Chains A and B, each alone.
Chain A
């Protein structure tokens, strides 16, 4: 069964350092999402892509976070510089998106757990 791939699974970094996360969605999925999940809370959307275009990045702290999906397939989320409050699980998810008439199932990756010291 196809899965959303993410790396790294775990990342420990010091504050002010740069960190990057990678996501490869399920093949054919047009919509890709990056969520941040703080322990004990629900996932919060950071950015949503439709193919290579950003659909929603209203909650992305653009002074330190950036995201790209250059060829409309895999995606990278970067944080520079990292702050203590960025410690969280970063979940990537994908769905068929506009390629289906109805909203389809959202498939999550295993996540990248970030710890900022």
Chain B
């Protein structure tokens, strides 16, 4: 089955700096790659996603890149703000719509 690895497990950045989180997946059949943000005590919420026919997608300060050949994808957050502090999960999804999540990255944005 699919296996998703995520790095780093924790990340601290200064407010205004950029943050990058990387994920790798094992199943070449996976075709949808969402990123979820989970604030303390709250439900995970989708922040951005990318499909396998696209290499990059951007939405204001966040962007995701996908390298299908290498089977990895990354989340990029620019101009980080304190409200970006949360745990971020990547996921890989195949045709069976089974969402396999990475272990998460705890991002802390220091003022």
Which residues of A are interface residues toward B (Cβ below 8 A)?
Answer: 31, 33, 35, 40-45, 48, 55-56, 58, 91, 93, 95, 97-98, 102-103, 105-106, 108-111
CB-defined contacts of A106 to chain B, threshold 8 Å: 34, 36, 46, 91, 99
| Chain A residue at smallest Cβ distance from B44 | A108
Closest Cβ of chain B to A35, distance in Å, is 8
Q: Determine the chain B residues whose CB is within 8 A of the CB of A110 once the complex forms.
A: 42-43
Question: Judging by beta carbons under 8 Å apart, are B49 and A105 in contact?
Answer: yes
CA distance A98 to B102 in the complex (A): 24
Q: Which of A91, A102, A105 contacts B43 (CB 8 A)?
A: A91
**How many chain B residues touch the partner (CB < 8 A)?**
26
Interface of chain B residues 29 through 85 with chain A (CB within 8 A): 31-32, 34, 36, 42-46, 49, 51
Q: How many A-B residue pairs have CB under 8 A?
A: 58
Complex contact A105–B46 (CB within 8 A)? yes
B43 touches A41 (CB 8 A): no
In the bound complex, CA of A55 to CA of B32 (Å): 18
| A109/B89 in contact, CB under 8 A | no
| Complex: A105 Cα to B35 Cα, angstroms | 10
Q: Are B96 and A55 in contact (CB under 8 A)?
A: yes
- Please pick, from A42, A48, A91, A102, the residue contacting B98 in the complex, using a CB distance under 8 A: A48
Contact indicator A42/B102 (Cβ below 8 Å): yes
CB neighbours of B91 from chain A (8 A): 106
Tell whether, in the assembled complex, residue B98 and residue A45 are in contact, meaning their CB atoms are under 8 Å apart: yes
Provide the residues of chain A in CB contact with B93, threshold 8 Å: 103
Give, as a whole number of angstroms, the nearest-CB distance from A16 to chain B: 29
The distance from the CB of A114 to the nearest CB of chain B, in whole angstroms, is 15
With A40-B104, A42-B89, A105-B49 given, is the CB distance from A56 to B98 under 8 Å? yes
